[in-house]
Amino acid sequence: MSLGCLVVSLVCFLVSLECLLVSLECLLVSLGCLVVSLVCFLVSLECLLVSLECLLVSLGCLVVSLVCFLVSLECLLVSLGCLLDTRSRLPLCPDTCDKDENSVKTFHENIP
């Protein structure tokens, strides 16, 4: 009887050892999955940060383009104003000269 109990105990011990090994294997697989999930999370986070950086760069470019457009528009309006002002401006002459064409012409010819 004692030999039968010893065999049964040995079988139970081996089954328990196998269960322990299977549990350790499951634990290692779970840790591997956790590491893979963590790496995927970090890659996703990096992609998110890169996308955010690209968005900020794009917004910066948009602001620079808008400023350049506004400066160009201002230059165009100033040029147009100067062009219109030059065409509509009458020759100026000081209060001391007559306002006829000869006086104005003579006055402008005397300007160095």
d(CA 49, CA 77): 42
Q: The domain containing residue 91 runs over which residues?
A: 62-112
pTM attached to this predicted model: 0.51
Total domains in the chain come to 1
User: What residue type is assigned to position 46 of the chain?
Assistant: E
The answer as to whether 38 is a domain residue is: no
pLDDT tens for the 112 residues of the chain, in order: 788 899 999 999 999 999 999 999 999 999 999 999 999 999 999 999 999 999 999 999 999 999 999 999 999 999 988 888 776 665 554 444 445 555 555 545 555 5
Contact in structure between 97 and 104 (CB atoms under 8 Å): yes
For 16, the enclosing helix (H) or strand (E) is: helix 2-88
Per-residue DSSP letters for 88-112? HPPPP--TTS-SSHHHHHHHHHT--
Structural domain contains residue 99: yes
Specify if 21 maps to a domain.
Answer: no
- The 3-state DSSP class for residue 75 equals helix
What values do phi and psi take at 96, rounded to 5? -80, -15
The alpha carbon of residue 7 and the mean position of all alpha carbons in its chain are separated, in whole angstroms, by: 72
Do the beta carbons of residue 93 and residue 104 sit within 8 Å?
yes
On whether residue 106 sits in a domain, the answer given is yes
In-domain check, residue 104: yes
